[in-house]
Structure 1
Amino acid sequence: MKETIPSHTPAGDPRFFPVSPLMIFPKAVGSFSVYLRQGNTLVLYAAAGEAFTDRHRTNLFENGVREVYVRLEQRENYTRYVEENLGAILQDESIPLPERAGTFYRASTEILRDAFEARMPVPLDSDTFRRLHYFVTQSIRFLTSADSLRALGEFIAHDYKTYTHSINVLIYTMPLAQTLGLDDAALIRVGIGTLLHDVGMTRVPKSIIERAGRLLPDEEAVYRTHPAQGVATIAQVPLTQEAINCILFHHERMDGSGYPTGLSGEQIPPVVRALSVADTFDTLTSTRGGPSAATSAFEVLNRMRSEMASTLDMEMFRRFVLVLSGAMLDGGFGAEMD
């Protein structure tokens, strides 16, 4: 039976959710309907299967329309549509940078939530891996472009969840890895490993993951299995060695005090040392840092420099401070490093 599409519905109807008209990409056909608000009513603007044009999109935005509406039951279709067009959206400079940053964060949250919560802890399957790989490939130039980190800083979530933490660490690691002179292909390999660095946490009990502050000894022992558990989780997909290194070694430390293998110094790959700095920073600025977690980037960076000089790569830390300083996310700490 053919679906009946309402042409009018009351504004504020909970069966709809708002999106920016700039996210409806020209020439791409979406399997969702788009509604426009007129007064207190939502009016059908484009039915599923119809393509927007540049003129449609630009006219809406230039006339002050900042939100169009999609039916809640079609959210998954809309999310897939954004994923499929993400690269073009992120590189479209006619879309304001904050809009593109918000699109990246919302799309990545949907993808990682689905991968980490709906499909785990079973082994990562090939379809999910292809979805994650495509996402990183489409995002890498945006993540390493000037001003992107500053725009993304507005969206970074500090309420600790494994998937939002992984997104945040990806955002921080990519511009830092770029300072190592990596090309796009290498950045994609590292990006995949960064996005999946905590995939082993899907096999750790939630009571341990969500505990604020110091873990009990037996909980710590279980927690420390997550790098190896992560490698086991991705065993069925074709990850590169760089990506596997990110998963397995991101808790190794410069003085050999880390885990699971006790690597030290130059034995730890440079990209993993970069990831470890970004991982530590995001953990300390999130609720997982415990009740005494620092509340600003300045406080966290100061703590990292004073308390972790023997465990983190301080040259990588210096580069990280410069990256944050360039994005004005360091609270002025960069000036002290000069």
Structure 2
Amino acid sequence: MLFPEALGDFSVYLWQGGDFVLYTASGQKFTTRHRQVLHKNGVNEVYVQGSEKPLYEKYIERNLGSILLDESMPIEVRTKVFYEASTLVVQDVFDRKLPSGLRARHFDRITNIVKNSIKFLADEKSLAAVAPFISHDYKTYTHCMHVFIYSVAVFHTYEMTESEVFEFGLGALLHDVGKAKIPKRILNKRGPLTQAEREIIKEHPVHGVSMCAHLPMTQNTINCILFHHETLDGSGYPAGLMGDNLPQAVRVITLADIYDALTTNRPYAEAMEPYEALSLIRNDMRENIDMAVFKRFVAVLSGADII
């Protein structure tokens, strides 16, 4: 995945004659001619040293927008790059840069993921192509990625502006950022939580907003982080909002959050099949979620052959 005129801080190697041969050195531009020579000689794979893998990952992150818009590249390849590169960024930020707070430079990396991918996720083919990469093992950073993917796909079915999709998408990706403040012994506990532990878990939306208070977020984004556990009947948290007080985009994120949690393996429950999870939501959560949003959600998943 190399781009003409983009400078790489890593060396590129070819596999020839049973050995690795240097093709372009670190700091050298990979030109159009380089790519033409590779194609002419039927070379489809190049290699970088394991020690330079982090530099290559940063290169992919910088060029992600160009990758996703390059329709000459198979959608399966673009989707793989999108999911792996985005997940690496979210994992790096969530696992290594928190819980002290979300710093501006890491926030910029997150916003770039959102900006570069919201148009790509508007296409049903993109959602269908990303489905095989969605992990069924629950981790906070992969869960946030999945909720972002599902939510943005549904946002595109509404008459939202591009800026609104960005703001809500950013909220979806960061909706559980406050869990960085929750002790791992509680997050990863096997078996039922005590009442005291449940109350601690319920603090994560407020923690999330607090961690992002110094960042340039709109109210739309803040609402997604703060209210994604509110329900239509007022039984949610942290504010007990209900009915029309819940923004439509938040209702989408809430549903995506529930669906992904049900379809991934958690410490206290095995993953459900998509149809089983949707049936549970439809039959047992009708008072909690917006059924009009639910119908759109099901239509989006069906269009992408996920169910």
- Give the shorter-chain TM-score range: over 0.9
Question: Does the alignment pair 1:198 with 2:176?
Answer: yes
Task: Write out aligned runs for 1:108-147 (5 A).
Answer: 108-147=86-125
Contact kept, 8 Å, 1:212 with 1:287, in 2: the verdict is: no
What is the match of residue 148 of structure 2?
170
Contact kept, 8 Å, 2:230 with 2:237, in 1: the verdict is: yes
Q: Which moved more, 1:300-309 or 1:45-54?
A: 45-54
Question: Does the alignment pair 1:180 with 2:149?
Answer: no
What is the match of residue 71 of structure 1?
49
Listed as ranges, the gaps of 5+ residues in structure 2 are none
Question: Does the alignment pair 1:321 with 2:290?
Answer: no
Contact kept, 8 Å, 1:31 with 1:48, in 2: the verdict is: yes
Report the 3-state secondary structure (helix = DSSP H, G, I; strand = E; otherwise coil) of the residue aligned with 1:301: helix
CA RMSD of aligned residues (A): 1.6
* Number of equivalenced pairs: 307
Question: How far has the Cα of 1:132 moved from its partner?
Answer: 1.2
**d(CA) in 2 for partners of 1:318, 1:59:** 50
What is the match of residue 275 of structure 1?
253
1:111-166 Cα offsets, whole Å, 9 max, x none, are 11111011100111111111111221111111112310000001111111111111
**d(CA) in 2 for partners of 1:322, 1:121:** 37
Change (3 A) 1:25 1:302: same
**d(CA) in 1 for partners of 2:68, 2:247:** 30
Change (3 A) 1:54 1:176: same
For 2:286, which of 303, 306, 309 is the aligned residue? 309
Change (3 A) 1:202 1:64: farther
Report the 3-state secondary structure (helix = DSSP H, G, I; strand = E; otherwise coil) of the residue aligned with 2:6: coil
Task: Write out aligned runs for 1:33-72 (5 A).
Answer: 33-57=11-35, 60=38, 65-72=43-50
Contact kept, 8 Å, 2:118 with 2:165, in 1: the verdict is: yes
**d(CA) in 1 for partners of 2:22, 2:83:** 27
Residue type of the alignment partner of 2:29: A
What is the match of residue 17 of structure 1?
none
Listed as ranges, the gaps of 5+ residues in structure 1 are 1-22, 331-338
Q: TM-score, with normalisation over the residues of structure 1?
A: 0.87
Q: TM-score, with normalisation over the residues of structure 2?
A: 0.95
1:34-63 Cα offsets, whole Å, 9 max, x none, are 111224322111111222234543664676
**d(CA) in 2 for partners of 1:297, 1:257:** 25
Question: How far has the Cα of 1:263 moved from its partner?
Answer: 0.6
**Identity %, equivalent residues:** 46
Residue type of the alignment partner of 2:149: I
1:236-259 Cα offsets, whole Å, 9 max, x none, are 111110110010000001111100
Report the 3-state secondary structure (helix = DSSP H, G, I; strand = E; otherwise coil) of the residue aligned with 1:154: helix
What is the match of residue 238 of structure 2?
260
